[in-house]
Structure 1
Amino acid sequence: MKATLLTTEEYNAYYDPYIKALGNVDLFQAFNETEKEFLNLINSIPEEKLHYSYGIGKWTVAEVLLHVVDTERIFQYRALRIGRNDKTNLAGFDENLFVPESFSNERSVESLMDEFKVVRASTRLLFKSFNDQVLLRNGNANNSVISVRAIGFIISGHVKHHIRIIKERYL
């Protein structure tokens, strides 16, 4: 299944830049490529840059890294609930409330990398468990219709988005 096969009825237009940034990739290719790119980026960040913020009130690099992990977990949860045919409208989340509570600035680059690897492995296993019928299933998250397969591509597109942000604003 390719990202370009998604229809605009499968996700909120807010996520369009994330999905479009992936190009015509397969879901698992997107998982693999964004994982490799993200880990390479983290490896390239000097320790002294980990706690750098480009402006007052802006997140540090460490906070951005853990935000990516937190968001992937939340989207996994959404995929699981919708994949299991739960019709509940799933709540949104406020990343600006999560970041200060993550204590990411107290963590090492290695611990952030390890956590991302484990979460990504879990994402990959979850999506491997879904058959085609489940991947096409729609649910409702944050008051918007979303399909399970769209969630998978959004996860990778979100990582790609933050890779670009880190490169442009932090390094």
Structure 2
Amino acid sequence: MKVQDLNSYEYGPYHHNYLKLVSNEYTLIEELEISLHRFIKFVQDIPMDKFDYRYAEGKWTIKDIIQHIIDAERVFSYRALRFARNDSTKLPGYEEDHYATFANGSQRSIMDLLNELSAVRYATLSLFKSFNSEQLVRIGIASDNPMSVRAAGFIIIGHQSHHQNIFKERYL
């Protein structure tokens, strides 16, 4: 299945901006794999002096953003797991700024962050590979919006792409 197969009722309006960044060329599993390698290669080409740079007071560093990508992927994978298992509990949102404040991403090495991102992505891949076609289209509620299991996977990819674009526009 590809991102073009999603229906608009499978995700909240806010996530459309992420989903439009996902390539229609690859399946969900392929893009989860490819986008990880593409992102790591991109980050490895960033000059070392940029990882702790803030383009404005109070903005996150590149390290903070990578930590945010890791945290968000864990949240979206958890949502996908709950919905795939037909859990009808409405899931709350999460406060990303609060997470960033207490994650200490800026205190970590870039290698440590990329290693963790890889570990989380491989866990995400294993999870999504375990879902059958019926589970992938199950829908739950998160942050007061519908979300299908497969939409959660594509949102993970689009969210990462969104932040990669932010790096290009504001940090490099």
The aligned counterpart of 2:20 is 20
Once the 2 structures are TM-superposed, how far is the Cα of residue 20 of structure 1 from its aligned partner? 1.2
1:10 aligns with 2:10: yes
1:95-127 deviation per Cα after TM superposition (whole angstroms, max 9, x unaligned): 010101111111101100100000000000000
Once the 2 structures are TM-superposed, how far is the Cα of residue 33 of structure 1 from its aligned partner? 2.2
Instruction: State the one-letter code of the partner of 1:126.
Output: L
The aligned counterpart of 2:67 is 66
Instruction: State the one-letter code of the partner of 2:82.
Output: R
Runs of 4 or more consecutive aligned structure 1 residues displaced over 3 Å after TM superposition: none
Superposed, 1:1-171 pairs within 5 Å as 1-24=1-24, 25-171=26-172
SS at match of 2:131: coil
SS at match of 2:111: helix
Once the 2 structures are TM-superposed, how far is the Cα of residue 23 of structure 1 from its aligned partner? 2.9
Name the CA distance, whole Å, in 2 between partners of 1:47 and 1:100.
22
Name the CA distance, whole Å, in 2 between partners of 1:13 and 1:100.
27
- Larger deviation, residues 35-44 vs 111-120: 35-44
Once the 2 structures are TM-superposed, how far is the Cα of residue 21 of structure 1 from its aligned partner? 1.1
1:74-105 deviation per Cα after TM superposition (whole angstroms, max 9, x unaligned): 00100011111110000100101010111111
Name the CA distance, whole Å, in 1 between partners of 2:96 and 2:154.
19
Once the 2 structures are TM-superposed, how far is the Cα of residue 47 of structure 1 from its aligned partner? 2.2
TM normalised by structure 1 equals 0.97
Name the CA distance, whole Å, in 2 between partners of 1:38 and 1:96.
22
SS at match of 1:90: coil
TM normalised by structure 2 equals 0.97
Once the 2 structures are TM-superposed, how far is the Cα of residue 42 of structure 1 from its aligned partner? 1.6
Name the CA distance, whole Å, in 1 between partners of 2:27 and 2:134.
17
Q: Which residues of structure 1 form unaligned runs of 5+? A: none
Identity %: 42
